[in-house]
Amino acid sequence: MGIRYREQERAFHLQGPHTSYIIQLNQKGVPMHAYWGRKIREENLQGLLVYTERSSFSPNPYPEDRTISFDTLPQEYPAYGGGDFRHPAFQVQLEDGSTVAEFACTAHRIFSGKPELEGLPSTYAEREDEAQTLELTLKDELSGLEAVLSYTVFAAHDAIARSVRLTNGGRSPLRLLRAMSASVDFNRDSFRMLQLSGSWARERDLYARELVPGIQSIESRRGSSSHQHNPFIALVAPGADEQQGEAYGFSLVYSGSFVAQTEVDQFKTARVSIGINPFDFEWRLEPGESFQTPEAVMVYSSEGLGGMSRTYHRLYRTRLCRGVHRDRARPVLVNNWEATYFQFNADKIESIAKVGRELGIELFVLDDGWFGRRDSDNCSLGDWKVDYRKLPGGLEDLTARVNRLDMRFGLWFEPEMVSPDSDLYRAHPDWCLHVPGRRRTEGRQQLVLDLSREDVCDYLIESIGAVLRSAPITYVKWDMNRNMTEIGSALLLPHRQRETAHRYMLGLYRVLEAITSQFPDILFESCSGGGGRFDPGMLYYMPQTWASDNTDAIHRLRIQYGTSMVYPVSSMGAHVSAVPNHQTGRLTSLQTRADVAMSGNFGYELDLTQMTDEEKEEVKKQVEFYKEIRHVVQFGEFYRLRSPFEGNDAAWMSVTEDGTEAFAVHVNVLAEPNGPLEWLKLQGLDPAARYRVEGSGEVYGGDQLMYVGLPIPRAHVDYKSHAWRLVRL
């Protein structure tokens, strides 16, 4: 790992464990993108860029040299103007109305460690020797606009963290219209673009498409990262798969509206850019003011999508997630939502908890309905006061009842929302996002609080903090159940209204930082109608996310498989729910539901008191088994073995870092009469070692398990699962 500047070539060579990324300054100081891929030696960095005249329709900014055209050259942070007709990385409007800018490098700095981003989540280094950072200072002489491009490489990860800080060094205000976090120009377009897209209850389906001329993009204009598109794309080389070939990943550490796109130009080169969505975005920079973009994390893998994913998993699990729970095993929980919905009282909650304790469950989570007069989803959001009709003794009494069972207690909140039928809204109708004179569109009969306002953020910090101090609460599920409409703030001036959505995100991050810092021992889980805000920005504050409101085990195969492209297993909440499933109506066995949910942070979301004795005994064994393997699942290396998007089954496995233990699952979707015999080839094992399959006692060589595979028992019913626990001898 390291960053070196080679003065002769005016080149910066950024090196990860197995990766090189090279930036070269041209004769005018404009940073060019020279290379990104497998690590190369530094003996000679000539020939990475080719300067040649291509077309009279590709203008030349320097008339004396017709081999230079920004329409054809790969750049690090391209501007609008100067002959580049592709999408720029940034765009600024000057006081005279013009939008042309021209950056050149005026200074650079290389230092150990990684700086924090002011007001924004980001990856981090715990020690200076874990990372090294390059800052390139670029300046537009006419306007005085300055950009500091930041690149961090990690000693233990083949990842590069990029961000940009833009400062108005001139004498007049500027309007920032576009500010991408990263832009990369590839010298070819021979890729498939992979994305994670879907909808509520169908999050992060895997899509891949061949690049064609023009723009291929995903985006959110919803004020959140969204169910529809995750803030991640990857370019995958021809022939690459899970185990081999080149994959380039781009992930945005941000929870608001974003865009990620690939533009293929006339010369069959591809430009990738990712950052805040410029749609309805503007930021006014007064002289001396700065704007910080969110961080983009870029990963290169020569070991296919699996290698890319495991790099993201290790980095995000250990150097994005924070706090005492980062490295702790997550508890097995039971949540009452699908058991009771809004209809419960303290005795009912205690009865579920009692059964949970008998089955070995460690944490009870009280979901929606405990506050205000919350008998349905049409009221009381914002009124964070206990409903004493349901809980006569308050949270203090209920937590005491649960704690006496030797169980921990958790609580659901939806802090960012307000119900029109609430005391908070009646007292402060201007506290929601709105535009004067326009309708206030409701979603789920609620409005969005204006977190661009300091007073609203202060109220949330105080009111949520008061609840968390009132009882020994050890877990919080932080929900958010609608997207933004009529995005405006009562406190912002007219020329700053298009800053509202990003200021909301800055306010949210301020609230999350304050609350998680005040209550460092609480395990926080984020949620947005399930997986509508499953993004790296939220993981910085909350180390796990409820993956989807869809708890159907068979549909979860796709949801959890897609999620694993970027996010570690330790970040995924996964529960066993009742059948028929409440989202799909599907009937699946208790074993299959558990095998799928065990590949995440395991729990139950059903009425345990309604289970038969046989079912309770099975659950008891499941809980006991998960406790034995959760260190493998939550902190091991994850391998996708078979894709639910490509066939009639799915399979995956986790292996401890030292290779001593493994856990593998196979799920057959539909039974096939007289089908072929099949073997499941495992990954990540020591080929020279011997492994025992716990339960059966069978012993296999690691080479046999990986190159021949485990025989898959034939399925004679739909939705049949099999799980194997392996221990190295």
Query: Quick one: pLDDT at residue 68?
Result: 82
C-alpha distances in angstroms, 148 versus 41, 181, 238, 556, 608?
27, 11, 35, 42, 56
Phi, psi of 431 (to 5 degrees): -80, -5
Give residue-wise pLDDT tens across range 57-97. 888 888 888 888 888 889 999 999 888 999 999 999 999 99
pLDDT in tens, 526-545: 999 999 999 999 999 999 99
- In this prediction, residues 303-319 reach a mean pLDDT of 98
Question: What is the model's pLDDT at position 523?
Answer: 98
Return the pLDDT at 715. 86
Question: What is the C-alpha to C-alpha distance for residues 501 and 279, in angstroms, rounded to an integer?
Answer: 11
What mean pLDDT do residues 672-690 have? 95
Q: Which residues are catalytic?
A: 479, 549
- Rounded to whole angstroms, the Cα distance separating 51 from 32 reads 11
Number of residues that make up the chain: 729
Distances (CA, A) of 119 to 188, 282, 287, 502, 550: 37, 18, 20, 11, 33
> Alpha-carbon distance 591 to 723, whole Å?
10
pLDDT in tens, 394-449: 999 999 999 999 999 999 999 999 999 999 999 999 999 999 999 999 999 999 99
pLDDT at residue 1 is higher than 80? no
pLDDT digits (tens, 9 = 90+) for 341-381: 999 999 999 999 999 999 999 999 999 999 999 999 999 99
Contact at 8 Å (CB) between 60 and 83? Answer: yes
At 361 the pLDDT is: 98
pLDDT at residue number 49: 87
Q: What is the structure's pLDDT at 53?
A: 83
pLDDT at residue 145 is higher than 80: yes
Q: What percent of the chain has pLDDT over 70?
A: 100
The contacts of residue 87 (CB under 8 Å, 6+ apart) are 215, 261, 263, 271, 273
Decide: helix, strand or coil at residue 505: helix
pLDDT of residue 54: 80
pLDDT at residue 294, rounded to an integer: 98
Q: What share of the chain is helix, strand, coil (3-state, %, to 5)?
A: 20, 35, 45
**Confidence at residue 381, expressed as pLDDT on a 0 to 100 scale:** 98
Q: Which amino acid belongs to residue 107?
A: A
Q: What is the token pair recorded at 377?
A: 């989803």
Q: Give the model's pLDDT for residue 70.
A: 87
- Per-residue pLDDT, 46: 76
pLDDT attached to residue 628? 97
What's the mean per-residue pLDDT of the chain? Answer: 96
Report whether pLDDT(26) > 80.
yes
Contact 77, 99 (CB under 8 A): no
| Three-state secondary-structure class, residue 295 | strand
Write down the pLDDT at residue 80. Answer: 92
Backbone φ, ψ for residue 272 (5° rounding): -105, 135
Per-residue model confidence (pLDDT) at position 82: 85
Mean pLDDT computed over 673-691: 95
Exposure on the CB side of residue 132, measured as CA atoms within 13 A: 17
What's the confidence (pLDDT) of residue 670? 96
What pLDDT is attached to residue 50? 85
DSSP letters spanning 348-394: HHHHHHHHHHHTT--EEEE-S-SBTT-SSTTS-TT--SB-TTT-TTH
Confidence of residue 469 (pLDDT cuts 50, 70, 90): very high
Is it the case that residue 146 has pLDDT exceeding 90?
A: yes
- What pLDDT does 532 receive? 97
Nearest alpha-carbon partner for 569 in 553, 551, 545: 545
pLDDT at residue 386 in the model? 97
Identify the CA nearest to 270 among candidates 188, 183, 180: 188
* Torsion, CA 388, CA 391, CA 394, CA 398, rounded to 10: 180
- pLDDT confidence of 594, banded at 50, 70, 90? very high
pLDDT digits (tens, 9 = 90+) for 29-68: 999 999 999 999 887 777 888 888 887 788 888 888 888 8
Q: Answer for the pair 702, 684: CB distance below 8 angstroms, yes or no.
A: no
pLDDT tens across 629-641, in order? 999 999 999 999 9
CA distance 531 to 574: 11
